[in-house]
């Protein structure tokens, strides 16, 4: 039996604190809660999930490049604060052929002005934001249809 197509789900800084950090903005779900739902959904879609989190920018760059080398179906990327600051993550996305879908729990456009600029979004295929943990499942559904 052939391997299932893989979707990388990459999470940046502070997302390991989901469920504890500002639940009024980010919700009460932990990253493990989201991972469990994505695993179930991936199974239904005939996909495999490779979910990772790091507080380090270079790890995100390495993983985007790895997803490309592995010929992943897509990357779902919640780059956290690096969304607004990382030319390195932007350039990594631009340098690969694997489609990257930007994911955010909150709607950055309803928050502080510095969050309105997304270097990730400028390079990504599309963005899903503002739906809490549902943003991830909506993004996985989109990835399955690419």
* Catalytic residue of the set 8, 90, 104, 136: 104
Cα gap 117→123, rounded to integer Å: 12
The pLDDT value given to residue 1: 43
> Is the separation of the CB atoms in 117 and 90 below 8 Å?
no
Cα gap 125→35, rounded to integer Å: 22
Domains of the chain, start order: 6-145 (3.40.50.9100)
pLDDT digits (tens, 9 = 90+) for 64-118: 999 999 999 999 999 999 999 999 999 999 999 999 999 999 887 777 777 778 9
pLDDT digits (tens, 9 = 90+) for 43-61: 999 999 999 999 999 999 9
Q: Give me the DSSP letters along 22-58.
A: -HHHH-S--HHHHHHHHHHHHHHHT-EEEEEE-S-HH
> Is the separation of the CB atoms in 120 and 89 below 8 Å?
yes
Give me the residue label for tokens 């399955």.
144
For residue 140, give the DSSP letter.
Answer: H
| 105-114 CB burial, b ≥16 within 10 A, e <16 | bbebeeeeee
The pLDDT value given to residue 7: 98
Asked about 104 being catalytic, the answer comes back as yes
Q: Is the pLDDT of residue 39 over 80?
A: yes
Helix (H) or strand (E) holding 69: helix 57-69
* Catalytic residue of the set 8, 26, 82, 136: 26
pTM for the full predicted model: 0.93
Average pLDDT over residues 35-42: 98
Residue 2's pLDDT band (cuts 50, 70, 90): low
Q: What is the CA radius of gyration of the chain?
A: 14
The pLDDT value given to residue 19: 83
Asked about 59 being catalytic, the answer comes back as no
């Amino acid at each position: 039996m052939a391997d299932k197509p893989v979707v990388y789900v990459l999470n940046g800084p502070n997302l390991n604190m989901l469920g504890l950090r500002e639940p009024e903005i980010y919700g009460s779900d932990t990253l493990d809660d989201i991972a469990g739902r994505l695993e179930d959904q991936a199974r239904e879609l005939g996909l495999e999930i490779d979910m990772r989190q790091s507080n380090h920018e270079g790890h995100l760059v390495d993983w985007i490049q790895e997803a490309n080398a592995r010929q992943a179906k897509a990357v779902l990327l919640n780059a956290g604060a690096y969304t607004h600051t990382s030319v390195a993550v932007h350039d990594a996305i631009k340098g690969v052929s694997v489609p990257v879908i930007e994911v955010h729990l909150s709607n950055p456009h309803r928050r502080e002005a510095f969050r309105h600029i997304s270097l990730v979004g400028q390079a990504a295929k599309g963005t899903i934001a503002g739906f809490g943990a549902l943003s991830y499942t909506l993004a996985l559904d989109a990835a399955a249809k690419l």
